[in-house]
């Protein structure tokens, strides 16, 4: 009975591993904030926790703890320990635990899930057949994903509103689709040379053709080059006897892919449909990646300040805003905030420090060592898996990882270990505490234990905490996912009544109060409700007294108090987030009509945001606008000038600077800056901004000639106060949070 149950448990574990291989690349839903990453990680979390319980229960049934010993064990255990310590030491602990929502990949939870999946898969993929089934499931899943990607590219969409774009595929991104293809290409091509029963020649050819076409359509140029290099390496390492007969089959998918690539990139006299599609893809859907030089500077700066354990998992965004090189403002990426580095190695160095990087590098070197031993194997699957591991190492050098790249990489390594296990190259070892040893220490007869367990007592000792922790983990996973579903419902109901959004976000926050995104969204929702009440009933030209009742005033006070409290909670949960400070400052700015000291609190919030994102010209522009709104032209000019120094081609900053100089009375400087604005915008005279700048300069010169320049009705756009709650005719709303005027955090001026 025990043996039969043990066999059933083993089959169940393997079945779940097959499900992970088949479903992870294809899983997505519109029910969560982010449609791809969150569902995949949630599914993996549930699967890993169930697998952990089943695996530990199998130890109980067998009376011993059986674990497959692999070269990656120690590096991965060290990596897991480093991740946990780095999370504990992180200044953004909750971000490190859960991820920088809605991105959860790279968080401590994600790292632990991947590492546990490896240990479970390495010990429970036991035979060659099981390894082949896992790889077959991966190939089938990636073929489906690739087919969807190709159909989307050519305008044949799934019947889902969010899927109607040419870059859609279930993996979540064009890189993920290309990376999965690259990981499986060596296996497919080695099976073209030496087919097997599970992966025969027809299926291998179909997979190679689909993979090649998808790669050249949605992959970046460096990934396409890597794909060609992988195929050529397979050919070079192949047995010449087998290669001679199979060479036409090897070259056919490659030639088709090269032709499609050429038609999409090589300019012809008349554009063909592939060129049109490629241009549309590059213009609107090409993935933006942080350049390697900027990524290196960010990573090395973070390493300098936090050398041992880094800034914590999922904190690269904060490192980027704090350490990004100012030269990036001269590129098209100037207004973007990157939450990932150029590649996985730099990302790990920045977030996990030297110890995490060394543990990760040790794992990579062990992967390289494992792969180097098998790439010339006569078995097609073994050789293909070895080359796939090499490919994984290279992919991580060209891009940061995604959930699907790690899942495929883990299952590929585990499958190779299963093949090596069958050859006697990998050992299993048993841990245990004999019941006899316990009886000797306690004096209790062994007969007392024989009715309960057979063999070692260690499996039961491990099983009890594992099942408790797994149940807690499942419950927390349910709460996290449920909260995110409510958050998505709130976002979907924004066009409806504000209270509907409020109710959904409140439920999300109650289920998971540790996500700063939920807090900041709740803060903005509360503000919008208060603003809507004021807008409907505030004093205006038609109704100088307005129609605000005492209840309306109480409601405005309540919603504004909640708005500020939620925004402050977001800052407390993620204190290194410049965006959270910016949101808090923006809320303060928009309530200057109803709350005393709101302006000072806004300036303080923007100052703290600038300290965390010192090279962001938009933040300086906003602060300059605040000072301009209270006619402090000296400070306005200083911050507008800061924005110009940070981004010398920032026409908007020059425009606001010119107006501030004019209003202060520096007319010659104002005119010179106004001419600079027109010069920057004249490359496109159809641009509405060009007409605005040209009209302003014309008006300025005319008024300088008549001596009335400072009487112009044109004001600095950055100083414009928007929203009903900036209306000074509104009654003051007492807010406890604004009673004590802060010491404004004023950042130093930017040197030219």
Percent of the chain clearing pLDDT 70 (strictly above):
92
The answer to whether residue 575 scores a pLDDT higher than 70 is yes
Section 383-389 average pLDDT = 93
Tell me the backbone φ, ψ of residue 68, rounded to 5 degrees. Answer: -80, 125
pLDDT digits (tens, 9 = 90+) for 155-175: 899 998 889 888 999 999 999
Q: CA torsion angle for 577, 581, 586, 588 (degrees, to 10)? A: 160
Report the alpha-carbon angle 347-352-354, nearest 5.
100
Alpha-carbon span 268 to 5, nearest angstrom: 66
What pLDDT is attached to residue 73? 92
The answer to whether residue 429 scores a pLDDT higher than 90 is no
Strand partners, 67: 429
What the block records as the tokens of 176 is 């993920």
Domains of the chain (ranges; CATH) run 2-286+346-428 (no CATH), 515-738 (1.25.40.10)
**Cα Rg, the chain, nearest whole Å:** 31
pLDDT digits (tens, 9 = 90+) for 243-293: 777 778 888 888 888 888 888 777 665 677 888 888 888 877 888 999 999
Alpha-carbon span 234 to 231, nearest angstrom: 5
pTM of the model: 0.91
Cis ω before 549 (30° cut-off from 0)? no
pLDDT digits (tens, 9 = 90+) for 29-43: 999 999 999 999 999
Going by the DSSP 8-state scheme, the letter that residue 333 receives in this structure is T
Going by the DSSP 8-state scheme, the letter that residue 434 receives in this structure is B
Percent of the chain clearing pLDDT 90 (strictly above):
59
Intra-chain end-to-end CA distance of the chain, in Å: 80
Beta carbons within 8 Å of 335's beta carbon, 6+ residues apart? 618
What the block records as the tokens of 332 is 């098209």
Going by the DSSP 8-state scheme, the letter that residue 431 receives in this structure is E
pLDDT digits (tens, 9 = 90+) for 645-683: 999 999 999 999 999 999 888 888 999 999 999 998 887
What pLDDT is attached to residue 424? 64
The structure tokens 């996973």 sit at 477
The structure tokens 């208060």 sit at 530
What pLDDT is attached to residue 497? 62
The answer to whether residue 209 scores a pLDDT higher than 80 is yes
Section 628-642 average pLDDT = 93
Smallest CA-to-CA distance from 138 within 193, 211, 76, 194 is with: 211
Alpha-carbon span 695 to 703, nearest angstrom: 12
The answer to whether residue 455 scores a pLDDT higher than 60 is no
Query: 72 and 118 in contact (C-beta within 8 Å)?
Result: yes
| Residue 189 pLDDT grade (very low, low, confident, very high; cuts 50, 70, 90) | very high
Alpha-carbon span 28 to 31, nearest angstrom: 9
Percentages helix, strand, coil for the chain (3-state, rounded to 5) are: 70, 0, 30
What pLDDT is attached to residue 274? 82
The answer to whether residue 205 scores a pLDDT higher than 70 is yes
The answer to whether residue 451 scores a pLDDT higher than 70 is no
What pLDDT is attached to residue 251? 84
- Return contacts of 251-259, CB within 8 angstroms, 24+ apart: 252/205, 252/209, 253/205, 253/208, 253/209, 253/211, 253/212, 254/208, 254/212, 254/228, 256/209, 256/212, 256/213, 257/209, 257/212, 257/213, 257/215, 257/216, 258/216
Question: Given CA atoms 151, 155, 157, 160 in this order, what sign does their dihedral have?
Answer: positive
The answer to whether residue 748 scores a pLDDT higher than 90 is no
pLDDT digits (tens, 9 = 90+) for 57-116: 998 888 888 888 889 999 999 999 999 999 999 989 999 999 999 999 999 999 999 999
Section 107-128 average pLDDT = 94
What pLDDT is attached to residue 439? 36
What pLDDT is attached to residue 6? 85
Section 733-741 average pLDDT = 76
């Amino acid at each position: 009975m025990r043996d039969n149950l043990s066999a059933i448990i083993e089959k169940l574990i393997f079945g779940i591993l097959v499900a992970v291989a088949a479903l992870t690349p294809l899983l997505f839903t519109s029910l969560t904030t982010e449609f791809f990453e969150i569902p995949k990680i949630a599914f993996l979390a549930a699967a890993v926790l169930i697998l952990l319980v089943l695996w530990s229960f199998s130890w109980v049934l067998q009376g011993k703890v059986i674990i497959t010993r692999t070269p990656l064990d120690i590096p991965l255990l060290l990596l897991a320990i480093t991740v946990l310590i780095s999370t504990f030491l992180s200044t953004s602990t909750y971000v490190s635990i859960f991820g920088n929502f809605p991105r959860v990949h790279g968080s401590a939870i994600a790292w632990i899930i991947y590492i546990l999946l490896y240990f479970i898969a390495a010990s429970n993929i036991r035979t060659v057949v099981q390894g082949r089934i896992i790889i077959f499931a991966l190939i089938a899943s990636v073929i489906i994903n690739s087919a969807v990607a190709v159909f989307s590219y050519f305008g044949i969409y799934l019947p889902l509103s969010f899927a109607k774009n040419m870059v859609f595929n279930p993996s979540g991104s064009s890189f993920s689709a290309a990376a999965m293809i690259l990981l499986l290409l060596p296996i497919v091509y080695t099976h073209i040379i030496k087919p097997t029963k599970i992966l025969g020649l027809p299926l291998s050819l179909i997979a190679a053709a689909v993979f090649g076409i998808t790669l050249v359509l949605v992959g970046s140029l460096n990934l396409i080059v890597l794909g060609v290099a992988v195929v050529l390496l397979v050919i070079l390492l192949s047995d010449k006897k087998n290669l001679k007969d199979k060479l036409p089959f090897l070259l056919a998918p490659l030639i088709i892919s090269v032709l499609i690539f050429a038609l999409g990139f090589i300019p012809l006299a008349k554009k063909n449909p592939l060129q049109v599609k490629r241009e549309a893809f590059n213009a609107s859907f090409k993935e933006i990646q942080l350049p390697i030089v900027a990524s290196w500077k960010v990573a090395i700066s973070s390493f300098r300040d936090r050398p041992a354990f880094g800034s914590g998992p999922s904190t690269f965004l904060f490192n980027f805003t704090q350490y990004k090189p100012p030269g990036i403002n001269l590129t098209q990426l100037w207004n973007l905030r990157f939450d990932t580095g150029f590649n996985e190695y730099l990302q790990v160095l920045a977030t996990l420090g030297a110890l995490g990087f060394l543990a990760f590098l040790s794992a990579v070197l062990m992967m390289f060592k494992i792969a180097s031993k098998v790439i010339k194997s006569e078995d097609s699957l073994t050789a293909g898996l070895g080359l796939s591991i090499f490919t994984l190492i290279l992919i991580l050098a060209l891009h940061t990882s995604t959930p699907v790249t790690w899942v495929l990489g883990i299952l590929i390594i585990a499958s190779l270990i299963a093949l090596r296990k069958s050859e006697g190259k990998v050992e299993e070892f048993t841990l245990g505490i004999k019941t006899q040893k316990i009886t000797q220490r306690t004096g209790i007869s062994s007969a007392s234990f024989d009715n309960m367990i057979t063999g070692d007592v260690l499996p039961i000792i491990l099983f009890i905490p594992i099942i408790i922790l797994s149940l807690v983990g499942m419950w927390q996973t349910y709460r996290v996912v449920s909260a995110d579903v409510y958050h998505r419902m709130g976002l979907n109901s924004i066009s409806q009544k504000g209270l509907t959004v409020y109710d959904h976000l409140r439920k999300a926050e109650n289920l998971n109060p540790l996500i700063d995104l939920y807090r900041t969204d709740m803060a903005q929702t509360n503000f919008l409700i208060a603003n809507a009440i004021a807008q409907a009933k505030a004093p205006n030209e038609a109704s100088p007294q307005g129609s605000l009742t005492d209840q309306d005033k109480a409601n405005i006070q309540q919603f504004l108090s909640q708005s500020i409290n939620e925004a402050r909670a977001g800052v407390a949960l993620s204190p290194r987030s410049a965006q959270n400070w910016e949101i808090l400052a923006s809320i303060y700015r928009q309530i200057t009509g109803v709350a005393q000291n709101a302006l000072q609190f806004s300036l303080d919030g923007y100052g703290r945001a600038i300290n965390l994102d010192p090279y962001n010209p938009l933040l300086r522009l906003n602060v300059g606008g605040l000072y301009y709104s209270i006619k402090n032209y000296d400070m306005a000019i200083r911050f507008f000038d800061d924005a110009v120094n940070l981004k010398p081609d920032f026409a908007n900053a020059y425009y606001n600077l010119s107006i501030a100089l004019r209003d202060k009375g520096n007319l010659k400087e104002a005119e010179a800056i106004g001419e600079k604005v027109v010069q920057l915008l004249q490359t496109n005279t159809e641009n509405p901004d060009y007409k605005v700048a040209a009209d302003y300069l014309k008006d300025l010169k005319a008024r300088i000639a008549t001596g009335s320049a400072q009487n112009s009705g044109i004001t600095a756009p950055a100083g414009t106060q928007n929203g009903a709650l900036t209306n000074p005719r509104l009654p003051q709303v007492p807010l406890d949070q604004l009673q004590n005027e802060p010491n404004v955090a004023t950042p130093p001026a930017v040197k030219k």
